Amino acid sequence: MFIEPNLKGEKRGWIEVICGSMFSGKTEELIRRLKRVKIANLKVEIFKPKIDIRYDEVKIVSHDTNSIHSTPVASSRQILEMVGDVDVVGIDEAQFFDEGITAVCQELALRGIRVIVAGLDMDFKGVPFGQMPSLMAVADYITKLHAICVKCGHIAHISYRTIAKEEQVLLGEKDVYEARCRVCARD
């Protein structure tokens, strides 16, 4: 980790966004970065949206069952209200947060906090998802991860929905979604 210096000698924060489709390793990468922060003895707080209870009500859990403790919140504003004196803030499933999440991340970065955010960049239709485009626009660093297409083995970036439901937010795992490439998603 590095801290961007300025002329006054104070630390500056920044925003990192980890994005991609389901099964691309976003949460795994978020957990990896946050565990490294803890190894460095930095103070960290981790948040996730209250609606994400797929694996655990409190922990952030990757598809391969790695986990890290987090605080579920109902709104992005709660993050600002709950964050204490920390060096790093981790946020998972950012696409599920309200439109204030971008301003919250910017405020944290202005406070000198490193903000690491993970989320789906597109929904199951291939449309930009929630506030992720806004977060990527203000991010200092963006990591786009790819899954492997379950049909052909090429790079996949679509979270293909295997059941006929049209609502944008439908929590699920391999029972509802699979990773597909652009070509196989048309099948």
pLDDT of residue 123: 87
Question: 30 or 176: whose pLDDT is higher?
Answer: 30
pLDDT of residue 142: 98
Could you tell me which of 154, 140, 129 has the C-alpha nearest to residue 49? Answer: 129
Written as six digits, the tokens of 52 are 């994400």
pLDDT of residue 16: 98
CA distance 122 to 157: 9
pLDDT of residue 161: 84
pLDDT of residue 2: 43
Cβ contacts of 8 within 8 Å, gap of 6 or more: none
Cβ atoms of 159 and 120 closer than 8 Å: yes
Region 173-187 average pLDDT: 84
Residue 45: active-site member: no
Say what the pTM is.
Answer: 0.85
Question: 66 or 12: whose pLDDT is higher?
Answer: 12
- Catalytic residue (one of 93, 99, 166, 178): 93
Region 8-20 average pLDDT: 87
Phi, psi values for residue 159, rounded to 5°: -90, 85
CA distance 146 to 57: 26
Domains present along the chain, CATH in parentheses: 14-145 (3.40.50.300)
Q: What is the per-residue pLDDT across 43-86, written as a single tens digit (0 to 9) for each? A: 999 999 887 656 556 666 666 667 677 889 999 999 999 998 99
